[in-house]
Amino acid sequence: GAVVSQHPSRVICKSGTSVKIECRSLDFQATTMFWYRQFPKQSLMLMATSNEGSKATYEQGVEKDKFLINHASLTLSTLTVTSAHPEDSSFYICSARSEVKAETQYFGPGTRLLVL
Amino acid sequence: AQTVTQSQPEMSVQEAETVTLSCTYDTSENNYYLFWYKQPPSRQMILVIRQEAYKQQNATENRFSVNFQKAAKSFSLKISDSQLGDTAMYFCAFMKRTGNTGKLIFGQGTTLQVKP
């Protein structure tokens, strides 16, 4: 149980285009999901907290107009990287917080984004 | 603000031997959780072990155990009988328990190589 999926797993796009990444909790409901960014051999950097039915809370320094987050249902959150540039190339990871075990986050497998 | 520090960027251990990964943290909170996550080459984040700060007993999960020293704000991970599959990046993480937004604060990570 407690599986989180991400789609796509890898995406290559041209500079200036927008890319949408989906994060789904497959067998549990998650009112809170988190989006992280990770550079090679570095730690996870929290970008934003996604709350079902309300606006996302962004961490300091993260552009909310650049990284659009929508949490439309209890099992789905999306991250859209708008007008992507090569510096947005990174590994993006989502996690979903269990309502049954609020201290536990379950992580998706990540999405590798390459912007050419 | 809470911080988590992992002072060992890289470590190696021979298969079947024991290794200890260090983690220190700083917080003014009294109620919190501490975690160790494993990120293998697949980059899927996997929860290894969880410790609740109000519990004095050190958590154990099979070959994995922690040494939780609350006064010293230290939370080390011991891996016994190391296996090749333990090769991964390990992250120590902190989560407040009260007023819990569910945010995880990660350390910088320690890359562990298990050698045959």
Contact B47 A104 (CB under 8 A): yes
Chain A environment of B101 (Cβ under 8 Å): 32, 49
Determine the pLDDT at residue B99: 67
CB contact under 8 A, B106 and A43: yes
Confidence at B2, pLDDT banded by 50, 70, 90:
confident
Name the pLDDT band for A103 (thresholds 50, 70, 90). confident
Substitution target in A105, A106, A112, A113 with the highest count of B β-carbons within 10 Å is: A105
Choose the closest CB to B101 out of A41, A43, A49.
A49
Quick one: pLDDT at residue A99?
Answer: 76
Given a contact cutoff of 8 angstroms between Cβ atoms, the answer to whether A56 and A49 are in contact is: yes
Determine the average pLDDT of the residues in A81-104: 91
Instruction: Convert the pLDDT of each residue in B87-96 to its tens digit.
Output: 999 999 999 9
Amino acid in the structure at residue A98: S
User: The tokens of B59 are what?
Assistant: 């958590």
Q: Give the integer Cα–Cα distance in Å for B79 and A110.
A: 26
Distance CA B69, CA A45 (A): 26
Interface touch B45/A46, C-beta < 8 Å:
no
- Residues A58, A68: Cα–Cα separation, whole Å: 10
Q: Minimal Cα distance from A30: which residue of B?
A: B102
Q: Are residues A95 and A108 in contact, defined by beta-carbon separation less than 8 angstroms? A: yes
Residue A82 structure tokens: 């708008």
More confident residue, B98 or A19: A19
Put simply, the answer to whether B103 touches A49 (Cβ < 8 Å) is yes
Asked whether the beta carbons of residue B43 and residue A32 sit closer than 8 angstroms, the reply is: no
The Cα of B101 is separated from the nearest Cα of chain A by a number of Å equal to: 9
Which chain B residue has the Cα nearest residue A45? B106
Res B56: pLDDT: 86
Cβ distance of A110 and B43 shorter than 8 Å: yes
Residues of B in contact with A42 (CB under 8 A): 108-109
- Average pLDDT value over all residues in chain B: 95
Q: pLDDT (tens digit, 9 = 90+) per residue, B48-103?
A: 999 999 998 999 999 999 999 999 999 999 999 999 999 999 999 999 987 667 88
pLDDT at site B88: 97
User: What mean pLDDT is reported for chain A?
Assistant: 93
Percentage of residues of chain B with pLDDT beyond 90: 87
Q: DSSP class of residue B81?
A: S
Contacts of B50 in chain A (CB under 8 A): 103-104
Shortest distance, CA A38 to any CA of chain B (angstroms) = 10
Look at B42 and A109 and tell me if their CB atoms are within 8 Å: yes
pLDDT of residue A1: 66
